[in-house]
Amino acid sequence: MSDTTTDAIVITNASLYGDTTADIVIVDGRISSLDRADAPAGARTFDASGLVALPGLVDIHTHLREPGREDAETIETGSRSAAQGGFVAIHAMANTTPTADTAGVVEQVASRGAEVGLVDVFPVGAVTVGLEGTQLSEMGAMANSRAKVRMFSDDGKCVHDPVLMRRALEYVKTFDGVIAQHAQDPRLTEGSQMHEGLVSTELGLAGWPAVAEESIIARDVLLAEHVGSRLHVCHLSTAGSVDIIRWAKAKGIDVTAEVMPHHLLLTDESVRGYDPRFKVNPPLRTQKDVDAVRAGLADGTIDVVATDHAPHPDEDKDCEWAAAAMGMIGLETAVGIVQKTMVDTGALSWRDVARVMSTTPARIGRDDQHGRPLEVGEPANVTVIDPKAAWTVDPTATASRSNNSPFGGIALPGRAVVTILRGRPTHIDDSLEGAFA
Partner 1 sequence: MKHLLGTQDLSREDATLILDTTAQMAATQEREIRKLPTLRGRTVVNLFFEDSTRTRISFEAAAKRLSADVINFSAKGSSLSKGESLKDTALTLQAMGADAVVIRHWASGAADRLAQSGWMHGAVLNAGDGTHQHPTQALLDAFTMRRHLVADPDGKGLDGLTVAIVGDVLHSRVAGSNIALLKTLGANVVVVAPPTLLPFGMAAREDISVHYTLDDALDAHDLDAIMMLRVQRERMTGGGSGFFPSPEEYTRLFGLDRARMDRMPEHAIILHPGPMNRGLEISAEAADSPRSVIVEQVSNGVAVRMASLYLLLSGEEAPSE
Q: Which residues bind partner 1 (CB under 8 A)?
A: 190, 193, 196-198, 200-207, 209, 273-274, 315, 318-323
> Between 318 and 375, whose beta carbon lies closer to partner 1?
318
Cβ distance to partner 1 smaller for residue 202 or 368: 202
Question: Integer distance in angstroms from the first to the last C-alpha of the chain?
Answer: 28
Whole-number minimum distance, CB 196 to partner 1, in Å? 5
CA count, 13 A, side-chain hemisphere, 44: 12
Q: Compute and round to an integer the Cα radius of gyration of the chain.
A: 21
Please name the residues in contact with 298: beta carbons below 8 A apart, sequence gap of 6 or more. 342, 347, 348, 352
C-alpha to C-alpha distance for 433 and 437, rounded to whole angstroms: 10
Q: How far is the CB of 281 from partner 1 (least distance, A)?
A: 16
Between 1 and 211, whose beta carbon lies closer to partner 1? 211
Beta carbon nearer to partner 1, 141 or 206: 206
Catalytic residue list contains 352: no
Minimum CB separation of residue 96 from partner 1 in Å reads: 22
Element containing residue 30 per DSSP (H, E)? strand 30-33
- Least Å distance, CB 202 to partner 1, is 7
Nearer to partner 1, 321 or 436 (CB): 321
Cβ pair 85, 335 in contact under 8 A: yes
Q: Are strands 151-152 and 120-123 parallel, antiparallel or unpaired?
A: unpaired
| Residue 383: how many other CB atoms lie within 10 Å | 28
Q: What are phi and psi of 20, to 5 degrees?
A: -130, 120
The dihedral formed by the CA atoms of 383, 389, 391 and 397, expressed in degrees to the nearest 10: -40
Rounded to 5 degrees, φ, ψ at 105 are: -70, -45
Shortest reach from residue 212's CB to partner 1, in Å? 13
Catalytic residue among 220, 308, 367, 386: 308
Alpha-carbon distance of 343 to 415, in angstroms, equals 13
Give the residue numbers annotated as catalytic, written as ranges. Answer: 308
